[in-house]
Chains A and B, each alone.
Chain A
Amino acid sequence: MAYDAPGNADKLDKTVLAEWNKLIAREYRSQQARFGSRFFSIDPTKLRSPVGAAIQWFADPAEPAFCISSEQARVLSDWGVRGRQVLHNEYCEYAVIFGMDPNGKFRPKRVEITTELREYWLCVATHAPAKLRQMVQKTLGFKPSWEDLYGGDPATLSRAQREAAFSRLVAGTPEAAPTGRLNTEHALFMTHAINGLDDLVYIVIFGARPYARKKGNGIEPISKEELFRKFGVEHLACRHADPAAAMGAAGAAFEGRAVAFANPLGVYIVSFAEGAFSIKGKPIPKKWIRWGRGQAGMYQRLVFGPSDADKEFLDDIVVSVGAKDLPVTGGFQVLQQIEVGPRVLAGATSPVRKDELVVIAANRSAIKCGEADICNQIKELKREHTIQLKTRRTRPRVVGPIG
C-alpha cells in the first residue's frame, strides 16, 4: 500500500509520491530493526477490523511549563523564531504575524499554526520544484521567489543541491534552523528537529509492544514512567507527544492489537476549542479561523485571527481560562486549545504469547520533570530573553533643544 500526501492536501505525481513512500519505508525499516514486533504494521490495510486509536495530545509546549512555569512557557514560546526553534516540539509550531495599529504600535495580528512534516516538504522540494512553489503560494498567499526557496534557479541545481539549499533556507536541518524568511516569518511547516517523521515513527513503533509488569500471578499494563525509565529516556515521560504516542500504541499491543498509521500519514489538528475565544463578549467571526493543508478531519494548518483587512488585532480577542478572560498575546494560548496527533488505527485483538510480553519491573517512583537536562537549556533561553528585554528597555538618547 502507498501512503497519499499528508491530509490529501496535494495532488502529487507518482514519482514524488513514490519518493515520499520511500522515506516512510526507510524510517520504518530503521525503527523496525530495533523495536519492531507484530504489533506494528507499516500497512494499515493489513489490520483486521481497524478502529481509530486515540493518540492525541495538547499542542502547547510542555517542557518550559514543567521546567519553569506555565506563564514563562507562554512568554518564551511566543518569543518569535527563537522560541519556536527551541520550544515548539510537540508536533505543532506557529509564527505570529504582526501589524501596526493606528497608533503606530506593532501588535500581534494572527497566528499561523502548522503540524506539517518537514520531510514531506523536503521531498517535494527535492523532486518537484514547480509543485513546491505552487504549494507555498497556496499556503502563504504569495508567490515565493526561487531565491527564497533555493537561493537561485532550481533548474541549475542537482537534486542533492536542491535538498541542501531548501534545507538551509526553509526546512532547516537537525543541526541548524532555517535561515530564510519563508519559514521563519511564517509557519510554513514544522522545522524543529524533534517534530520529524523519524521521531514520529520511532515513538509509535517503540510503544507498540506488549509491555507489562507483574501483578500477583498475572500481569498488568505498565505506567508511562516505568516505560520511559526502563529505556533511559525518563524526560520523555514529561512531554505531551511522546507519552501519548507510545502509551497509546503500548495499550493496543497489550490487548493484542496491532497498530498502523492510517493513510495518509501525517500529524493533524484533532480538535480546537474555538468556543474558548471571544471578542467583546461575542464569538469570534468564522472568517478568523482558517483551516488549510488538508481535508476536513485532517487539517494540518490553522490561521487564527484577523486578516490584514480587519481593523482588529489578535490581542483584541480574549481566551477564557477558568473564570478569567485573558487577551491573546501570541500563539501559545491558541495551542493550549488545540489537540494534535497522527491518525493511528488499531486492529482486532489477538492472544498475546508469553514470549511476546516485555515484562518490566514495577517502579512507582515519580519522575522529577523539573530536573530534566532540557531544563538547563530552557533556563538559559529564559536568561537570553531577560537580557534582550533589558536591552530593549534602554531608551535611545534624545537630542532636542536645551531649555
Chain B
Amino acid sequence: MVGLLIASSALAESGKPGVTVIVRGEPMAAARFQDSLRLAEMPIEFRFVDIPNVPSPPPERDDLEAAVAAARQDYGEANLRPCVARLAAEDLVTAALRNGQREGAARVLFWRAACRVGLGDSSVARGEARRLGTLELQVPPDVGRTTPEVERVVTDELKAAQRLPRVSLRVTSSVAGATVALDGRPKVCVTPCAVEVLPGEHVVRLEADGMVPEVRTLRVDPNEPAELAAALTPAAPELASAQWTAKYAASADIDSAASVRLLARAVRAKRLVFITAETSNVDARLRGVFADDQEIRGYAERYAVTREFDAAVRGLVEDLLVKGSVLQPPAPLYARPLFWTVVAAVAAAAVVGTYFAVSPPPVHTQVHF
C-alpha cells in the first residue's frame, strides 16, 4: 500500500493532493480508464481533462493578396499613385515576413518598386528593390509584366545587395531553445545562436513551446555585428493549447517531455498524468508520463489482459505518482514491522531450539523403592 506524501501547497479542496489526468485513446478506453481510476480509491484528488484540440488561427493572407492584386491592376492601368498608396502601409511587409509569407512580401516590395519607377521616383524604387535583396527574397514572376526599366532596377539592386559583406546577427532569448525564424524563413536556428545576414532591415520571429511568439524588426548596419535579446513571456493556456494541438496532437512525439510540458501548461495542471491507452477486445497497453511543475518526473507502462485492466490502471498511476514523489513507495520488506517481528520470532525459536538441542532441559528425577 502506498502512503501519502503531504505537500500542503498542492492539496486539493478535499485535502488530498490534486493530479490532473488526460487519457488519449478511443473514447471508450478513456472512459474505462477514468472509471478504473475512480474505483481505485487512491488518496488523490483526480481531475480528468479532455485532450486539447484548439486549431491555430489561419494566417492573414487576404489583405495582402488583395492589396497586391489591386496594385498590380493599378500598375497595368497606369494608375501609379493609387498603386503606391495601396502598398504604402509599412507593416504589410513586416506582417508577411512575420507570418512566413516571403513570396507575399516579395510581391509587395516588387510592386512598390515598379510603381515608383513608373512615377519616375527612381531612388525610392531602388530602395524597395534593395530591401528585396537584403531580405534575400525571390523576384516574383510578376516581373514579366513590368517594363524593362523596372526589371533593370530590381536586378541591379539585388546584385548590389548580394555584394554587401554579411554581418553576424546573434539571437538570444530568455527561454533557451526558442526557434528563430528570419525574414519569414522558418527555423534558421535555435537560441542562443548566430546567423549571417545582409545589412539592412530584418524581421526576427522567436517561438518556444508555452511562450508567446516574439517578433522583432531590427536594422543591421554594415560591418557591425548585431545582437537581439528577446524576453519571451509565458503563453496563456489557450495559446498553449493551440500550440500543443498544432505541434504534438498528431505527432509521434506526443508523449515526449516537450509535449507533456506544453500540455501541462495548456490544461493548467501543476501535476499532470498523461496516459496513452491502446486497447483491443482482449488486452490493453497503457503508457503514462507524469509531469510536476512542467518537469517530467517519470514514465511507466503496463500491459494487461482485459480482466486485469483495473489493476493495471492502478499500478500504472501509482508507479507514476511514486516516481513523482506524490506517493511514497511501498515500504521495503526490511522496513516493515511485521518483517522484524517474524525475524525476531524465528531467531528466538532458533535460539531456544539450539539451546535445548545443545543443552537438554533439566530433568527432575524422582527416585524411590
A binds B: no
Interface set of A (CB-CB < 8 Å, partner B) = none
B residues sitting closer than 8 Å to A (CB atoms) are: none
